[in-house]
Amino acid sequence: MIGAAVRRERWYGGAAPLATVIAAMLLDLLWIPVPGFSAVAPAFPVMAVFCWAAWRPQLLPYTAVFAAGLFEDLIRGTPMGTASISLLAVQGFVWAQRRYLSTRSFEVLWLGFALTAFIGAAATWCAISFAYRTPLSPWPGGMQYLLTVAAFPPVAFLLLRIERGLARVPS
């Protein structure tokens, strides 16, 4: 018989990864008074999906990432399915390479993120170019990729604190 407190803790633990991904998506709505920043703002959802897929893959299933991707498309006004393809590509790659990425050596993790984020950015570019039926300029996406990789350490640190808070939640 599982107690109510344990059940609640499990529920919070299960909801936390998806909640952080959604929160990262809502950051897209943050208005930064720097001209042109929104076009190259770091892709926080990619960071969140990467970290959870590497540390607690069982808490963030493919279906949740797919749904979160649709939510992001609705917020951004991008063609439906674009963010889902990108985030699923990120998650799929991390799951395949989890052996190397779960070492907890930060340098390896950052390098792995740089590679994974590149796959995510390429998937986004391909999906949008397909939807618009024309190859778009990859430069804005490239700039966003560089900023995303540069902004990864503080975000990963924050997510690691949350993940450690979930340490008691059974896998």
Partner 1 sequence: MGTRTRAFGRIWVVRLWVQRFAFLLLIAAAFGLLVLGRFESPWASRLRAGLLDAVAPVAHALSLPGRAVSDWFASVKSTSDLQRQNAELKTEIDSLRLRLTALDELDRENREFRKLLAVKMPDEGKHIAARVISDPGGPYVRSVLIRAGQREGVRKGRAVVTAQGLVGRVTEVGEFTSRVMLVTDVNSRIAVIIGVAGERAIMAGANADWPKLLHIPRVAGIAKGDRVVTSGHDGVMPPGLPIGEVAEVGPGNVRIRLFVDTQSLGFVRVIDHDMPGLLPPPGDPKTAERPSRRRDRFDGGSP
Residues that bind partner 1 (CB under 8 A): 26-33, 35-36, 38-41, 43, 61-63, 66, 69-71, 74-82, 84-85, 88-89, 92, 124-125, 127-128, 130-134, 136-137, 140-141, 143-144
**What's at 168, amino acid-wise?**
R
Specify the residue, 1 or 34, whose C-beta has the smaller distance to partner 1: 34
Specify the residue, 133 or 161, whose C-beta has the smaller distance to partner 1: 133
Please name the residue ranges forming H helices in the chain: 4-26, 37-40, 44-55, 62-76, 82-96, 98-101, 106-132, 139-150, 152-165
CA dist 150 to 41, 43, 145, 155, 167, Å? 11, 11, 9, 10, 27
SS3 114: helix
Specify the residue, 140 or 165, whose C-beta has the smaller distance to partner 1: 140
Shortest CB 34 distance to partner 1, Å = 9
Specify the residue, 41 or 59, whose C-beta has the smaller distance to partner 1: 41
Q: Which long-range contacts (CB under 8 A, 24 or more apart) does 140-143 make?
A: 140/39, 140/40, 143/39, 143/40
Shortest CB 29 distance to partner 1, Å = 4
Shortest CB 71 distance to partner 1, Å = 8
Shortest CB 16 distance to partner 1, Å = 19
